[in-house]
């Protein structure tokens, strides 16, 4: 028994004060455990009270004179979102009551600061919302010690945050260069769409026998390239085009320049996201590039497109179809993938690239424009034609093939690319022109019969709200905002 048994004290040998001390230690440990197990206080309910208003900001303060009835006025004043007594429940329901660890704070990124108003208190309680390294979301009082907070329900929060403007910059002319490709300075922003196994199975491979894996996501190791159009100014939102390169080089192609400048479209592309990269990783970079660009540059999210060449063309068509709520159009160049299964004569090319989208996504995909670019000298040409034909038979009414007889497996000319992008962007431009015209008409009606156009009454301010809502970020909307802010 190697002496161990004889060295263990018998229970009956513990007596007197020693026994009392042991009982006290056990009791203290149990009490400490019960304290540790207690759920943390909900930071969205200061002192346990339900707030009556919440103002969300990118920084720790905002222009308190800003009128919050329109999102444009709020954002110009530094406000991301505003919740009153009727709507604040949407924010409160995100809290789970589950604590997060202090060690998770070091790599967390701030999403927003919440300023909570409670009836009877003059000062607002401030809470910061954080994105943790694992993609989950948490909240804690801004002045709290590290780790003092709760996790938020990610699905509920993401649905709420999807309605917030992504842009966090100012409205002065940017310091960065325009009309040329350059590398964006890190840190980069994680997109809300995560290329994990559940997402890959649901969006791309539902019902297919395909091995899936999580994306190799480490933005600290990535490089994102961007090109701002000539004349870009954040007072007027730009479009965004994602470039899916088939090579490790994600620099924005020079041939895109004339079209991007003419249409005022920002272009972003990632290095090391070409044919050599595993599918989940390169798909993930597309969404992280979008999130980063939308955070830094003022982008109209109704105007996000994707293009790529060869393998990148297939990436553009796959993502535009499977994530049709994100992309309003695509330009696949000499490469095109679809969910159609071709007949046996196509050999290895007969297989579908992904599964047919579900109802709402399919409806959007059928509606969004897709401009294929290719020619008969390209080895992918016949497959592109056949897949286009099958999609049209399945209700896709907005596919157009820009077919050039002498084109091989190559990039198009600047003029040809401009024609395709112009066609993709046409619905947005027409809709935007209608919005601007409506805002101008409302502003003209506001001016009619006034010697002094300054907004002096609530009715005046509401009339100018209508101008802003009709055509946010238009010249008329900026003039209406100026009149509201004039005292």
Q: Would you say residue 22 lies in a domain?
A: no
Residues 440 and 422 reside in one and the same domain: no
In a domain, 103, yes or no: yes
Kindly state whether residue 239 falls inside one of the protein's structural domains: yes
Q: What is the pLDDT of residue 109?
A: 84
| Residues 319, 381 within the same domain | yes
Q: What is the pLDDT of residue 103?
A: 66
pTM above threshold 0.85: yes
In a domain, 30, yes or no: no
Residues 460 and 409 in one domain: no
Are 266 and 405 contained in the same domain?
yes
Task: Say yes or no: 261 and 134 in one domain.
Answer: no
Flag whether 236 is in a domain.
Answer: yes
Full DSSP string of 204-271: T-TTS----------GGG--EEEEPPTT--TTSPEEEEEEE-SSS--PPPGGGHHHHHHHTEEEEEET
Where is the domain boundary, 394, 413, 430? 430
Strand 79-83 vs strand 329-333: parallel, antiparallel, or unpaired? Answer: unpaired
Q: What is residue 135's predicted lDDT score, i.e. its pLDDT? A: 79
Structural domain contains residue 9: no
Residue pair 74/58 in contact (Cβ under 8 Å)? The answer is no
Which 3 state secondary structure label does DSSP give 54? strand
In sequence order, the β-bridge partners of residue 269 are 225, 243
**With 0-12 CB in 10 A as exposed, 13-18 as middle and 19+ as buried, what is 258?**
middle
Same domain assignment for residues 71 and 191: no
Q: How far apart are CA 124 and CA 118, in angstroms?
A: 7
The residue count for the chain = 487
pLDDT of residue 26: 42
Number of domains in the chain: 3
How far is 337 from 384, CA to CA, in rounded Å? 8
Residue by residue, pLDDT tens for the chain (487 residues) are 443 433 333 333 334 444 444 344 444 444 444 444 456 789 999 989 999 999 999 999 999 888 999 999 999 999 999 999 999 999 999 999 888 876 667 778 889 999 999 998 889 999 999 988 777 899 999 886 555 789 999 889 989 998 999 999 999 999 999 999 999 999 999 898 999 999 999 999 999 999 999 999 999 999 999 999 999 999 999 999 999 999 999 999 999 999 999 999 999 999 999 999 999 999 999 999 999 999 999 999 999 999 999 999 999 999 999 999 999 999 999 999 999 999 888 887 889 999 999 999 999 999 999 999 999 999 999 999 999 999 999 999 999 999 999 999 999 999 999 999 999 999 999 999 999 999 999 999 999 999 999 999 999 999 999 999 999 999 999 999 999 987 6
Tokens 């935007």 appear where?
Answer: 432
Residue-number span of the structural domain to which 134 is assigned:
46-161
């Amino acid at each position: 028994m190697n002496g161990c048994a004889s060295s263990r004290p018998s229970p009956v040998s513990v007596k007197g004060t020693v026994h009392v001390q042991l009982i006290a230690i056990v009791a203290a440990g149990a009490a400490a455990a019960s304290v540790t197990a207690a759920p943390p206080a909900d930071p969205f309910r200061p002192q346990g009270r339900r707030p009556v208003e919440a103002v969300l900001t990118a920084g720790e303060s905002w222009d308190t004179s800003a009128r919050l009835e329109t999102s444009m006025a709020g954002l110009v004043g530094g406000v991301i979102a505003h919740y009153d007594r009727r709507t604040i429940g949407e924010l409160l329901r995100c809290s789970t009551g589950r604590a997060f660890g202090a060690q998770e704070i070091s790599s967390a990124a701030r999403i927003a600061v919440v300023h909570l108003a409670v009836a009877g208190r003059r000062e607002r309680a401030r809470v910061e919302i954080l994105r943790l390294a694992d993609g989950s979301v948490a909240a804690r009082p801004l002045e709290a010690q590290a780790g003092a907070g709760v996790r938020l329900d990610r699905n509920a929060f993401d649905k709420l945050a999807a309605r917030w403007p992504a842009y966090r910059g100012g409205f002065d002319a940017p310091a960065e260069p325009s009309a040329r490709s350059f590398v964006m300075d890190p840190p980069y922003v994680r997109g809300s769409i995560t290329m994990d196994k559940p997402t890959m199975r649901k969006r791309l491979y539902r019902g297919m026998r395909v091995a899936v894996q999580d994306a190799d996501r480490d933005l600290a190791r990535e490089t994102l390239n961007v090109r701002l159009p000539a004349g870009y100014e954040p007072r007027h939102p730009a479009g965004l085009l994602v470039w899916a390169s088939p090579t490790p080089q994600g620099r924005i192609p020079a041939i895109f320049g004339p079209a991007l400048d003419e249409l005022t479209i920002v272009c972003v592309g990632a290095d090391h996201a070409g044919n050599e990269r595993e599918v989940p990783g390169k798909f993930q970079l597309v969404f992280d590039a979008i999130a980063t660009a939308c955070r830094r540059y003022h982008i109209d999210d109704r105007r996000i497109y994707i293009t790529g060449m060869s393998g990148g063309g297939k990436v553009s068509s796959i993502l535009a179809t499977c994530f049709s709520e994100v992309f309003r159009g695509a330009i696949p160049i000499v490469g095109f993938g679809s969910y159609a299964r071709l007949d046996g004569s196509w050999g290895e090319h007969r297989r579908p690239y992904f599964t047919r989208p579900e109802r709402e996504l399919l409806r959007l995909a059928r509606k969004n424009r897709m401009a294929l670019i290719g020619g008969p000298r390209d080895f992918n040409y016949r497959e592109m034609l056949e897949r286009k034909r099958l999609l049209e038979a399945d209700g896709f009414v907005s596919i157009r093939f820009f077919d050039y007889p002498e084109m091989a497996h190559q990039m198009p000319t600047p003029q040809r690319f401009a024609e395709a992008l112009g066609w993709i962007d046409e619905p947005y431009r027409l809709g935007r022109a209608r919005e601007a015209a409506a805002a101008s008409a409302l502003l003209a009606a506001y001016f009619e019969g006034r010697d002094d156009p300054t907004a002096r009454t609530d009715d005046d301010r509401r009339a100018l709200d209508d101008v802003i809502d009709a055509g946010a970020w238009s010249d008329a909307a900026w003039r209406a905002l100026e009149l509201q802010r004039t005292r």
